[in-house]
Amino acid sequence: MAIDSLISFLGKSVTGYRNATYHFDDGYQVSVPYFGLGLVQKIKPKRLILVGTPSSMWDVFFADQNNQDDALLSELFEASHSGTVDENLLSKCSDVLEEQLGCEVVSILIEFSKDEREQVALLAKLSEVIADNETLAIDVTHSFRHLPMLAMVASRFLEKTRNISTESIYYGALEMTDPITKLTPVIELNGLLKMLDWVDALASFEKSGDFSDFTSLYEREGLNQLAGLLEQASFYERTNQIAQARKPLQAFLAQEANASQSPIIDLFSPGIRKRVEWAQEAKISERQSSVAMYYLDKGDYLRAATLGYEAVLTKIIQQQPGNSDVQNYSVREKIKNQIRDKSIVLSPEELASLKNLSNTRNALAHGSRSTDGTIQKAMSTEKELRDFLAEALAQLNKI
């Protein structure tokens, strides 16, 4: 994938950067004193963004290039070692460097990112020079040790706010140089980016209960069929079609257990499997009740009341002679009419549960004040509503 911008962090060294032969997984090798230079040759970004402090080793980076202005380099050397590099000086050096590298060069001067103010300032400066929808690569090889963590945050911040994707984070592991071959391995920290994607999906999933957040991640691991089953089941569940959601979820559970999985799926799949275990419930009323309880826990009170009401009605239908089709709309309407005209006699628990869930659902759906004083009280605070619905759903077990 074409890289729009390579962000490369410069650190500080007393002795300067020594030459190393960096070895990439695909066999590509490049010998440079500063890894960012070799990375530019390898991935050929449209723009190089250099990030450093007033005392970073800017001179080492520029000194490696041919045909440098000796006076300019001398000025940069003095400024780097005295910690007085400024943006005007970097601008002049960047102009020279662009001719050498054949790409745009932007130099960003930052503070040491010691505290929250300086850390936020770093993100703001990066955001200023990167356009929406860009694709990035990040080099953290020579940065101060705390900056790679900020680089990860910057990557996520830019993705969420500007649709800027990070293709890879690179680290030239000088301390892992092979003593025999003298090759320094290049580590791509893509696994960290993937884990952040899964953590984001998990956070969204825990809040909304919508497991479709994981579909694109399963696709990325090459498990398109599992992704399709999750997406299909998610649609059915979001539209309260619990009976229809069961089949794709059962297929997902069966196939996911036997799928050739990546370590990252092994890490996150237990939580997903636990979320969809309701599909294994034998009766549809039990499945509706399980999902209703789940959404009650997530604070989705309308869905909890709706599914709870349907679970009570389904269980009453299941108890009627003749094994009625509980999913048939006409059957459900007939049973509701028989309950109203008392052709079907319900226990006090059944009547209370059905009435409370129905009235709560109507009040929540229409946003109006219920004429039922019990419902008015229940909707006075979130705790009252949560406790009220929990009690109404608990009655289902007594029917």
Least Cα distance to 289 among 313, 272, 271, 273 occurs for 313
pLDDT score at 249: 93
Mean pLDDT of the chain: 88
The pLDDT tens digits of the residues spanning 362-394 come to 999 998 888 889 999 999 999 999 999 999 888
pLDDT for position 70? 72
Specify the pLDDT at position 186. Answer: 97
63 has pLDDT over 60: yes
pLDDT of 248: 94
CA distance 346 to 265: 47
**346-359 pLDDT tens trace:** 888 888 888 899 99
pLDDT value for 134: 96
Q: Over pLDDT 90: what percentage of the chain?
A: 42
SS3 sequence of the chain: CCCCEEEEECCCCCCCCCCEEEECCCCCEEEECCHHHHHHHHHCCCEEEEEECCCCCHHHHHHCCCCCCHHHHHHHHHHHHHCCCCHHHHHHHHHHHHHHHCCEEEEEECCCCCCHHHHHHHHHHHHHHCCCCCEEEEECCCCCCCHHHHHHHHHHHHHHHHCCEEEEEEEECHHHCCCCCCEEEEEECHHHHHHHHHHHHHHHHHHHCCHHHHHHHHHHCCCHHHHHHHHHHHHHHHCCCHHHHHHHHHHHHHHHHHCCCCHHHHHHHHHHHHHCHHHHCCCHHHHHHHHHHHHHHCCCHHHHHHHHHHHHHHHHHHCCCCCCCCCCHHHHHHHHHHHHCCCCCCCHHHHHHHHHHHHHHHHHHHCCCCCCHHHHHHCCCHHHHHHHHHHHHHHHHHC
- Residue 217 neighbours by CB distance under 10 Å: 20
pLDDT at 66 over 70: no
User: In 10 A of CB 271, how many CB atoms?
Assistant: 13
Judged by average pLDDT, the poorest of 141-145, 271-275, 393-397 is: 393-397
Range name among 68-82, 87-101, 128-142, 174-188 with the lowest pLDDT average: 68-82
Report pLDDT digits (tens) over 293-332: 999 998 999 999 999 999 989 988 888 887 568 888 888 8
pLDDT value for 14: 56
Give the tens place of pLDDT for each residue, 197-213: 888 888 888 778 788 88
Amino acid identity, position 235 = F
Q: Considering only 225-229, 239-243, 324-328, 360-364, which range has the smallest mean pLDDT?
A: 324-328
pLDDT for residue 40 is more than 90: yes
pLDDT for the residue 323: 59
> How large is the average pLDDT for residues 8-37?
86
- What is the rounded average pLDDT of the residues 178-190? 95
